[in-house]
Amino acid sequence: MLLKRRSFQALLLSCLMYGSVLPAQKRGAETDGQFPATTPRLVVGIVVDQMRYDYLTRFWPHYGDQGFKRIVSQGFLGKNHHYNYAPTSTGPGHASVYTGTTPSIHGIIGNNWYDKESGQEVYCASDDASSSVGTTTVAGKMSPHRLRVSTITDQLRLHTQMRGKVIAVALKDRGAVLPGGHTANAAYWFEGGPEGKWVSSSYYMDALPEWVSRYNASGKNGQYKKVWDTEKKIASYVESGPDDNAFEGVFAGKERPTFPYDLPALWMANGQYDLLRSTPFGNSITTDFALQALEAESLGADAIPDFLAISYSSTDYIGHKFGVNSKEVQDAYVRLDLELERLLKALDKQVGEGEYTLFLTADHAAIHVPGYLQEQKIPAGYESSFRDRGEFREFLEFTYGTTDIIRNISNHQIFLDHRLLESLDLNPREVQEKLAAEILQYGEVDKVYTAYQMQQEGYSRGIPYILQNGYNQKLSGDLLWVPRPGYASYGPTGSTHGSPHIYDTHVPLLLFGKGIRAGSTTERTEIPDIAPTISVLMGMAFPNGTTGKPISGALK
């Protein structure tokens, strides 16, 4: 009798946690209770690296009906979705999507940043305490230990008593490590070079699962060592600029940035399998491996929800090399649409149509190549390094007698040597303000803010609001500057990102599947809103640093 009672209690608990509907007895005028959450069998999070919002609209005529168009027509579209902090770069972007907060809270203040304690530059995912798994190189020495809060993937693991699986996949290590969170069952990223294989870290496992080892040994990635030509006739790509222009980078061994690209001929001079990162085939490799993980790990196979985090990184590599207005970028998105179609069909088959929930966004957007903007008579230009500016060095020498008060300049921040300031009897706030006044005179600088302002003021709008959300009191610098709109710290070819300007912050938000209402909004939504929206949908606790708010209009 006791065993039966315990079995019934376990069944009741399972139903309450995972959404099975039990008949409710009516008491007087009361109505039947309704479970206050939706429980998809699988959540799929997709981050498209460097995807501007207008890539969705510009290339719309070239998309098929079963990729982007299916997600938009059957799901919810945020048309005015933004990063609410800077720097707008890959590490902070992935961290913010999955934590529901900003670098001011989660601590990933850049891809790399100057560490004030060690005096060294650190990488957002590096971890000397971990060792590589699946490779003899250092490519696997990664973990999420610099991430200071929990993620939506962590909350799923906690909510399900660690029974829900979390698998994260990306070409870039940071695109897998940060979305996977602290408790992921596994995170995998791609190592190029002569072998081209998926690797991981001892943070997650002692050895690669057998299915990953078999996949690496299959040589499947080698099928993409082929010619990259446009998916559709290049003459139809009227939404982008001329194929041959001065604003695009070139692969080693190729004279002009023009289609077709003979990858076998370019192979050895461009890092062998690393070459695939800068082609749409890098995204194909990502889909291949994600689908293998879906099957091998039986994701979404039962009522306990799982999470598959996918980051498509090749769009960023291609954007950096060829620029926002290139036919290469357009072809990358036309082909990405086919990857999404392939992914959705596999999810329909394995998990079941209507049984999974998916979101898609980007980790940042990108600026048009400043040289191209100048050619179109739009104000634009390039920043120069402050350390290389004679006038800046002269100012430091004249005002303070030394340039050594500057410890580091990176990520549009200046770090001061506070011990030296103390020995010189200099007030840090006054030094910050004098430096700000000097830097503001430089033509490419638009705005300058001090650490004192970031710590004492409470901004709620505009550029200072965005900077403050990216400012971490323990980690960030003494001075922050913003380039003029249209200006970039980059070479003359290809696009970049990182600023608080709207061309770097405006990204798509697509929500689709179980529990998602069909529709759209032009109301402003922000990146930290994604994690609490998924949390509310699933009835889970929010990630513990959440500052975003649920997007109620997207939920049924």
Residue showing tokens 């323990």: 474
Tens-digit pLDDT profile for residues 421-464: 999 999 999 999 999 999 999 999 999 999 999 999 999 999 99
Provide the sign of the torsion angle of the four alpha carbons 105, 383, 114, 91, taken in this order.
positive
245 exposed, middle or buried (CB, 10 Å; 0-12, 13-18, 19+)? buried
Average pLDDT, the chain: 94
d(CA 53, CA 366): 10
Residue 19: per-residue pLDDT: 43
Residue showing tokens 């969705």: 56
Structure tokens at 75: 């799901």
Report DSSP state, residue 540: P
Domains 42-373+520-554 and 381-485 share a fold: no
Tens-digit pLDDT profile for residues 28-72: 333 456 778 889 999 999 999 999 999 999 999 999 999 999 999
Residue 416: per-residue pLDDT: 98
Residue 33: per-residue pLDDT: 65
Residue 26: per-residue pLDDT: 34
d(CA 167, CA 306): 8
d(CA 59, CA 12): 49
Residue 8: per-residue pLDDT: 42
Catalytic machinery residues: 90
d(CA 132, CA 41): 31
User: Are the C-beta atoms of residues 86 and 447 closer than 8 Å to each other?
Assistant: no
Total residues belonging to the chain: 556
Residue 385: per-residue pLDDT: 82
Domain boundaries defined on the chain: 42-373+520-554, 381-485
Tens-digit pLDDT profile for residues 353-411: 999 999 999 999 999 999 999 999 999 999 988 877 889 999 999 999 999 999 999 99
Domain spanning 381-485, CATH architecture: 2-Layer Sandwich (3.30)
In sequence order, what DSSP letters do the residues of 208-225 get, joined into one string? Answer: --HHHHHHHHTTGGGGG-
Q: Kindly list the averaged pLDDT for each block of 10 residues, start to end, along the chain of length 556.
A: 40 43 36 75 98 98 98 98 98 98 98 96 98 98 98 98 98 98 98 97 98 97 98 98 98 98 98 98 98 98 98 98 98 98 98 98 98 98 86 95 96 97 97 97 96 97 97 98 97 98 98 98 98 97 98 96
Residue 379: per-residue pLDDT: 97
Residue showing tokens 């039962």: 302
Note the Cα 3 to chain centre separation in Å.
49
User: Are the C-beta atoms of residues 405 and 420 closer than 8 Å to each other?
Assistant: yes
Strand partners, 483: 445
Residue 279: per-residue pLDDT: 98
User: Are the C-beta atoms of residues 20 and 133 closer than 8 Å to each other?
Assistant: no
Residue 32: per-residue pLDDT: 52
According to the CATH classification, is domain 42-373+520-554 in 3.40.50.620?
A: no
Q: What is the pTM of this model?
A: 0.93
